[in-house]
Amino acid sequence: MAAAVDKAYSAIRDGIASGQFSSGTHLTAQNLASATGLSRTPVREAMRRLHAEGLIEFIPHRGAFVRQLGEREIYKIYDLIILLESHGAEAAAQNATQDQINEMQDLVQRMEELIQRGASASEVAEYNGRFHRLVVAAAHNSWLEAAFRVIIDVPQVMNTFHAYQPDELRRSQIQHQELMLAIGSRDATWARAIMESHVMAARNVLIRADARDKAAKGFINGF
């Protein structure tokens, strides 16, 4: 039973992280059981775990939904992300090992190759996530890493990168390259400033995407 719950939990959580289950998606135990090949009992238990973590919300008489944030909440969350990641970038410039710097360079190069090939944001998202986690890890502060893991588990934060349009993706990559140069040259002030701008840009992408999504739903409902 425990193994089945863990499998269901991982499958649903991965679906939220990948954007398969986007913010506001209605989740039912029956549909999730069909998607995971498991019975509804472990799926329900997995949903309770995800609710406890804040990834799913239960609305009386309506059911379970992937948690969706309003614009004010997005600003509040991104205020925290800006603090955490800018500090992480600053500390990474001071504390990153050469192996970590080399790995950052490899990830930035991999993203560049994908973008040059015309890849979508969703295809680049995995490497973007690995890059940001590595920058925070390179700060060598376990408390910072723990706080960062909590905040990026918010569904809309998880899915931000999937919402990037081609021009936004290109600008994001330029900032990745600049951040890599700042950390590699051990310029903590520069690294902090770039990361602040980078995360602010991500916040703005999410807000625009959220507005587009609400406008589209409003059109459909109005139609």
Q: Using 50, 70 and 90 to split pLDDT, how confident is the model at 171?
A: very high
- Partnered with residue 59 across adjacent β-strands are 63
Greater confidence, 214 or 71?
Answer: 71
Residue 3: the pLDDT is 86
Contact partners, residue 211, CB within 8 Å, separation at least 6: none
Instruction: Give the burial string for 101-132 (b: 16+ CB within 10 Å, else e).
Output: bebbeebbeebbebbeeebebeebbbbbebbb
Residues 137-146, mean pLDDT to the nearest whole number: 96
Q: Across the chain, what does the average pLDDT equal?
A: 88
How do the domains of the chain map onto residue ranges? 2-66, 71-222
Residues 185-208, mean pLDDT to the nearest whole number: 94
Question: Phi then psi for 70, rounded to 5 degrees?
Answer: -85, 170
Q: Using 50, 70 and 90 to split pLDDT, how confident is the model at 219?
A: very low
* CATH number for domain 71-222, candidates 3.100.10.20, 3.30.1510.10, 1.10.357.10, 1.20.120.530: 1.20.120.530
Q: Which CATH architecture has domain 2-66?
A: Orthogonal Bundle (1.10)
Contact partners, residue 152, CB within 8 Å, separation at least 6: 81, 132, 158
The answer to whether the pTM exceeds 0.85 is no
Q: pLDDT by residue (tens digit) across 27-53?
A: 999 989 988 888 989 999 999 999 988
Q: Which amino acid is at 102?
A: N
**Is the distance from CB of 199 to CB of 78 less than 8 angstroms?**
yes
